Amino acid sequence: MISVLQNFKQVDKRPWPHIIIENALPQKIHDELLSTLPDERLNHQITPPAATCGKLVWLLYEIVQEGYPVSNIWKEFIDFHTSREFFDQVLDIFSPWTRDLPIPKEKIILTDRTVGATPKDNCFTEFGFVKHPPLNDVSSRTPHTDNEKEIYAGLLYLKYPEDKSTGGGFALHKANILKMNKDREYVNPGSIQKVCPYKSNNFVMFFNNKDTQHSVEPRQGAVHPRWSINMFGQYAGQRVWEYWPIDWPGQK
């Protein structure tokens, strides 16, 4: 099976709803995905701003526009993890927390990316290859919360066998003061409660809300890029919540 959820067991509620799956994919599938990462294609992306620590991102719309220049197994992987079937599976996993979403599951109309968005669509799925340069002792993503329109987000880690670096894991923070700076990063983030290690074939996913403060651990001994395969579901127009204004007087 190609699904990252095939070995799912349960949702962890602390510090907020998430799942971590070790050895998410069968070894043969993992190895083929790892060996066919689009390394050279990512190198041709536009140089990102310094604020992103130089990470390179290749998103679904670009992949589709370019005629799917990926291996067959990557095409199968992308197709499934952006499908309605996968979207519904994720909502079912997080069902205790999705009951009060602005759009009930049965009324969600997911964009068919083969034909493009229509006026009736209210949600869509996204996918991206993300390649971080080998920075040491620097977090490539400091504590933050994702886009308020995002419903869920998942990361599959693929790490080269020769990469002996440490750190680089997905850190889950306890929710703290909801006050952000101009870069949408928390001024006083909560403490780290748990980490999904940057280990090949580890998968982490969370149900997004205003309390899901998270970051990326700094790496040590990094000489190879850090790869994450990102997938998420998002509202096309509705917002799940509103962020507190930066200088909201009622903040504690």
Q: What is the pLDDT of residues 171-217, one digit of tens each?
A: 999 877 666 666 667 777 789 999 999 999 999 999 998 888 899 99
pLDDT at 252: 32
Between the two ends of the chain, the Cα-to-Cα distance in Å is: 47
pLDDT at 48: 62
pLDDT at 246 over 70: no
Give, to the nearest 10 degrees, the angle between helix 72-81 and helix 84-93. Answer: 50
Query: Average pLDDT in the 71-79 region?
Result: 97
CA dist 196 and 16 (Å) reads 14
Mean pLDDT, the chain, integer: 87
Residue with tokens 């060996």: 35
Query: Average pLDDT in the 58-66 region?
Result: 92
| pLDDT digits 0-9 by tens, 114-152 | 777 888 899 999 999 999 999 888 887 787 888 888 999
The two three-digit tokens of residue 114, written as one number: 């083969």
pLDDT at 244: 38
Q: What percent of the chain has pLDDT over 90?
A: 62
pLDDT at 239: 66
Strands (E), the chain: 18-21, 56-59, 123-132, 150-158, 166-167, 170-173, 192-196, 203-207, 214-216, 219-220, 226-235
The answer to whether 224 touches 199, Cβ cutoff 8 Å, is no
Output the DSSP codes for 11-45. -B-SSSSEEEETT-S-HHHHHHHHHT--HHHHHTS
Specify the DSSP class assigned to residue 50: G
pLDDT at 245: 38
Specify the DSSP class assigned to residue 105: G
CA dist 47 and 59 (Å) reads 15
98 against 177, higher pLDDT = 98
Domains and CATH numbers, the chain: 18-235 (2.60.120.620)
pLDDT at 69: 95
| Cα atoms in the 13 Å half-sphere on the side-chain side of 49 | 2
Choice among 15-19, 49-53, 87-91 with the minimum mean pLDDT: 49-53
pLDDT at 195: 95
| pLDDT digits 0-9 by tens, 7-37 | 999 999 999 999 999 999 999 999 999 999 9
CA dist 204 and 151 (Å) reads 15
Q: With b meaning 16 or more CB within 10 Å and e meaning fewer, what string describes 142-162?
A: ebbbbebbbbbbbbbbbbbee
Question: What predicted TM-score, i.e. pTM, was given to this entire model?
Answer: 0.89
| Cα atoms in the 13 Å half-sphere on the side-chain side of 57 | 14
Beta bridge pairs of residue 51: none
CB neighbour list of residue 151: distance below 8 Å, 6 or more residues apart = 91, 98, 101, 123, 207, 208, 232, 233, 234, 235, 240
pLDDT at 54 over 60: yes
